[in-house]
Amino acid sequence: MKCTRRNVLQRGGAAVAVGALAGCLSEPGEDGTDDGSGTNTEDEAGGLTGYTAFFALQDWASEITGEHGTFENPVDVGEMGHGWTPEGDLIRNVAETDAFVYLDTPEFSWAQDLAAQLEAESADVATIDGLADFTGDQLLSFSDGDLPAPDADYTADPNDFTLEEFQVIDPTMNEVTAYWHIDHWDGGLPDVPLEGTVRFEPLVEADGGHVVPLGPDEELQVDVRLDDGAPEGIVDLESDGDSVEITGLEEGRTLLVFELLHDGAVIWDSSAGALSIDVSADVDPADVTEFHDPHVWADPVLATQIVETFAREFATLNPDNAATYEANAEAYAQRLEGVDEQFQSAVADGELDLAVFAGHDSFRYVEHRYGFDLHSPVGVSPDESPSSGEITATIELVDEHGIDTILYDPFEAADGEIPPLAQTIIENSSATETAPMTPAEGTLAEWHEQDWGWVEQMEEVTIPSLRKALKAD
């Protein structure tokens, strides 16, 4: 069975470190689940078996394989794959199947690490990346490039310092590649070329939203070091107070800890969650690695491309059912086209071309394709929290444009409840109603009981709510 390889392995501090998975895979026949031939046993219908990184991918894999495949989603109902922590036996369970289906993006770092471990152990499991056929111009950057200026009047108190945000900026693109949230990183660092250097400029917010001035002549400086026990000799690290430079000395991976210094003393560091960095000879020093918004699956047109990738890879793994996989993928593509047309109609029929979404910014691809604005005070990651200023600006936007309905993510509150952010906007603006909107990264108990897949979530929840918010009805 052929294992696919990813072109680039890049991620942040992962929920499951690759090293922690070492030794988890059994030798063929060791636990009785394999006959020792080096080929995993297919399901009773002669189809594929496998795992996926989250709900949408599992739904698409199941639609393609039909009766000739069984794919499982390890993420529980009511949860999303982003920031999820797998159980210790997942790698062994996946290794007993034919394929692991995922998106190679730092937002699903646990899935990246699991795929890397499967490949490193030469397991007889195909790792299938849904982003494999995407080109750079199809993907949106991880951030919008609009970075705030430092607060020149800010004065730091090292005895009463509260970090709110720590973002790692790639100055060549003025974009965020990674940012710290509570005790872990979202996003990640690009690979460093062997004998090449990559420069980053941290942006820090603290003590009530102040953008902290950094530099050798400022109160605070940024520094970076190797994590305790991390491999040495792979990178050289330098800091000039407001930026850091990482030079690749030897191929491999190590772990970094960022620090904030006041008069030479550390007042904050990221040791609770080290950030991984890879040095590779395959990276051209002239190339710039850009991090992208991972939410491609919310766009029905891009979803079609992922489905086509899966169908091709499944056919390669199981040629006996290749015709069935191709036919099922074509039929499902027609359903995705129907969702595409419904999005077009919702925007075309709308009195407004602006809506407000009180949730993480997961519909940027949908906005870009259909030509409307979905304002969110929250960033791309579900872990981000809006500042009071961002909430105030959102309330003013609602009043200015006569927005009646505030959209929200039903995963961000208990069943049937309105998330606090949406409730705050309603209570302090002219808006009077709320409506749920989901990118279909996961599924809820009610939807699961009705056997709703990606299409049903869009047709029954997201599109009707969007029509309401845009005043299309």
Q: In this structure, what CATH number is given to the domain that contains residue 416?
A: 3.40.50.1980
**Which three-class secondary structure state does DSSP give residue 204?**
strand
Gap between the Cα atoms of 352 and 402, Å rounded? 9
Gap between the Cα atoms of 435 and 194, Å rounded? 50
Residue 418 placed within a domain: yes
Tell how far CA 355 is from the center of its chain: 23
DSSP states along 232-254: PSSEEEEE-BS-EEEEE-SSEEE
Residue 112: what are its φ and ψ, rounded to 5°?
-60, -45
Angle, helices 322-349/55-65, rounded to nearest 10 degrees: 130
Residue 313 placed within a domain: yes
Task: With beta carbons less than 8 A apart as the criterion, state whether 432 and 404 touch.
Answer: yes
Gap between the Cα atoms of 275 and 259, Å rounded? 12
Residue 312 placed within a domain: yes
Gap between the Cα atoms of 210 and 227, Å rounded? 28
| Beta-strand runs (E) in 173-309 | 175-181, 184-187, 192-193, 197-206, 210-211, 220-226, 235-239, 244-248, 252-262, 265-269, 275-280
Residue carrying the six token digits 């040495």: 232
Are residue 275 and residue 306 in the same domain, yes or no?
A: no
Residue 38 placed within a domain: yes
Are residue 254 and residue 205 in the same domain, yes or no?
A: yes
Task: With beta carbons less than 8 A apart as the criterion, state whether 421 and 62 touch.
Answer: no
Gap between the Cα atoms of 221 and 202, Å rounded? 10
Residue 151 placed within a domain: no
Are residue 28 and residue 128 in the same domain, yes or no?
A: yes
DSSP state of 414: S
Instruction: Indicate the pTM of the whole model.
Output: 0.71
Per-residue pLDDT at 188: 85
Are residue 319 and residue 362 in the same domain, yes or no?
A: no
Sign (positive or negative) of CA dihedral 337, 469, 414, 412: positive
Are residue 194 and residue 256 in the same domain, yes or no?
A: yes
The CA R_g of the chain, rounded to the nearest whole Å, is: 23
Are residue 383 and residue 316 in the same domain, yes or no?
A: no
Span between the terminal Cα atoms of the chain, in Å: 52
Are residue 369 and residue 447 in the same domain, yes or no?
A: yes
Are residue 178 and residue 246 in the same domain, yes or no?
A: yes
Task: With beta carbons less than 8 A apart as the criterion, state whether 380 and 142 touch.
Answer: yes
Residue 143 placed within a domain: no
Are residue 309 and residue 365 in the same domain, yes or no?
A: no
Per-residue pLDDT at 175: 77
Are residue 249 and residue 306 in the same domain, yes or no?
A: no
Per-residue pLDDT of the chain (473 residues; tens, 9 = 90+): 223 323 323 333 343 334 444 444 444 334 434 433 333 444 545 789 999 999 999 999 999 999 999 999 999 998 887 768 888 789 999 999 999 999 988 778 889 889 989 998 866 899 999 999 998 779 887 655 567 789 989 999 999 999 988 999 887 667 788 888 777 888 888 889 998 888 899 999 998 889 999 999 999 999 999 999 999 999 999 999 999 999 999 999 999 999 999 989 999 999 998 899 999 888 765 444 456 788 999 999 999 999 999 999 999 999 999 999 999 999 999 999 999 999 999 999 999 999 999 988 899 999 999 999 999 988 655 556 787 888 999 999 999 999 999 999 998 887 778 999 999 999 999 999 999 999 999 999 999 999 999 999 999 999 999 999 999 98
**Which three-class secondary structure state does DSSP give residue 137?**
helix
* Residue 251's CATH number: 2.60.40.1080
Domain, as residue range, for 396: 350-469
Could you count the other beta carbons within 10 Å of the beta carbon of residue 140? 17
Per-residue pLDDT at 102: 97
Domain-terminating residue out of 220, 246, 280? 280
Strands 354-358 and 265-269, bridge-based pairing: unpaired
Gap between the Cα atoms of 327 and 288, Å rounded? 39
Are residue 121 and residue 230 in the same domain, yes or no?
A: no
DSSP state of 135: -
Residue 443 placed within a domain: yes
Please count the structural domains in the chain: 3
Gap between the Cα atoms of 34 and 434, Å rounded? 52
395: tokens are: 């309330």
Residue 103 placed within a domain: yes
DSSP states along 347-406: HHH-S-SEEEEES----HHHHHHHT-EEE-SS-SSTT----HHHHHHHHHHHHHHT--EE
Residue carrying the six token digits 């399901």: 43
DSSP states along 279-295: EETTS-TT--PPPB--G
Are residue 208 and residue 170 in the same domain, yes or no?
A: yes
Gap between the Cα atoms of 103 and 114, Å rounded? 12
